[in-house]
Amino acid sequence: MALAQSGPFGVGAPEAAPIPTDGLFSDFFRWVAAVQSTFYQQLTGAVRDMKQNGSAFWTLISLSFLYGVFHAAGPGHGKVVMSSYVLANRETAKRGAVLCLLSSLLQALVAIGVISVLAILFNATSLVITDASRFLEVGSYVLVTVLGAYLVFKAIRGFLNVQPASSTHRQGHDHHHNHSHDHHHHDENCGCGHAHAPSPELADRAKGSVKAAVAAIFSVGLRPCTGALIVLVFALAQGLFWAGVLSALAMGLGTAITVTTLMFLAVGTRRATLVFTGSNTRGAAYVLNGIQLLGALAVLLLGGILLTAALL
C-alpha cells in the first residue's frame, strides 16, 4: 500500500485523491492499490531481468499494459474528467474514445519528457523530479478547474436557449414545379430554411468545442503517470532507457482502454435517457441539458477538490 501511494526510488507524486477507507467501493480501491504495489515490484524485476534475458522484454510490456488498466481503475481524475467532459460537451462515443487515447498517451509522453530532460540532460535528483511532477500535477488540476467552469457556463447557456421542438418542420420542398421554367437554385438567400454553409454561430461553437477538447486532453495528460516515472528511472539506472520508454507507452494504452470503457458507459447512459424521454420534446431538451450540467459540475468540483488538496 505504501508503494502504491508513493512509489519506490522516491520518484513520482501520488494522486491527490486518497484511497477511500470506507464506502461502497473502498474494498475494491484497496485491492487495486495492492495490485499496483505488486506491479511496481514485477515491473522493476522485469527490467532487471532484461539484462540477462531478452525475452523478458515481452514480460515487461505485458505487465506495463496491465498496470495501465489497473491504474486507471483506481482513484484518479482522468476517467472522471473524460467521462464527465463527454457528457457535458455532448461528444460522440467515437470522439470520446479518441480523446481518451490522446490524453492517456500524453501522460506517458510527459513522463518520458520529464525523465529525459531532468534525469538525462540535467542529472537531476529524485527530489527535483518529484517536484517537477508535482508542478505539472498542479497545472493539470488548474486546467480541470478552468475546463469545468467553462462547461458549467456552457451548460447554463444551453438551459436558457432551450426551444420547443417542432414536429411539423418540413424537411422537403414543394416540388410541384412547372418544368417550363428554370429550377430553383439553393443559396444562402433562397429562404428554404436550410444552412448551405456553416453559420458564424456554428463556426464559433466548433472552435469552442476544439478548444475544450484540447483542454480536456491536457488537463488529464499533463500529470505524468507515477508508474511510468518509476519504470523510466529504474530502466535508466539499468542502462535500458528505451525499454522504459516502450513500457510507459504500453501503460498509456492500458490506461486508455479502461478510461474509454468508462466513457462508453457514460455515453450509453445518456443515450438510454434520451430514448426513455423521447428525443423530440422540450422535456428531452431539458434532460439533455441537465445531464450536460451535471457533467460540467462534476468536472468543476473535481478540479477544485484536487487543486485544493494538491496545494494544501
Q: Identify the residue with better confidence: 75 or 42.
A: 42
Report the b/e string of 151-173 with b at 16+ CB within 10 A: bbebbeebeeeeeeeeeeeeeee
Q: How far is CA 169 from the centre of its chain?
A: 38
151 contacts: CB under 8 Å, gap ≥ 6 = 85, 88, 89, 212, 292, 295, 296, 299, 300
Model confidence at 11, pLDDT cuts 50, 70, 90, reads low
pLDDT value of residue 21? 57
pLDDT value of residue 176? 47
Question: Which candidate, 303, 246, 309, places its Cα nearest to that of 85?
Answer: 303
CA torsion angle for 255, 256, 261, 263 (degrees, to 10)?
Answer: 110
Q: Identify the residue with better confidence: 8 or 209.
A: 209
| CB distance 60 to 53 below 8 Å | no
pLDDT value of residue 304? 93
Residues of the chain with pLDDT > 90, as a percent, come to 38
Domain borders along the chain are: 16-162+199-311
pLDDT value of residue 250? 96
> Between the CA of residue 203 and those of 109, 200, 288, what are the distances in Å?
32, 5, 22
pTM of the prediction?
0.76
- Torsion sign across C-alpha atoms 226, 228, 229, 233: positive
pLDDT tens column, 283-306: 777 778 888 899 999 999 999 998
User: Average of pLDDT values for 267-292?
Assistant: 77
Helix (H/G/I), strand (E/B), else coil: 264: helix
Q: For 161, list phi and psi in degrees, rounded to 5.
A: -100, 10
Question: Which grid coordinates are listed for 9?
Answer: 526510488
pLDDT value of residue 22? 59
pLDDT tens column, 140-152: 999 999 999 999 9
Amino acid at 31: W
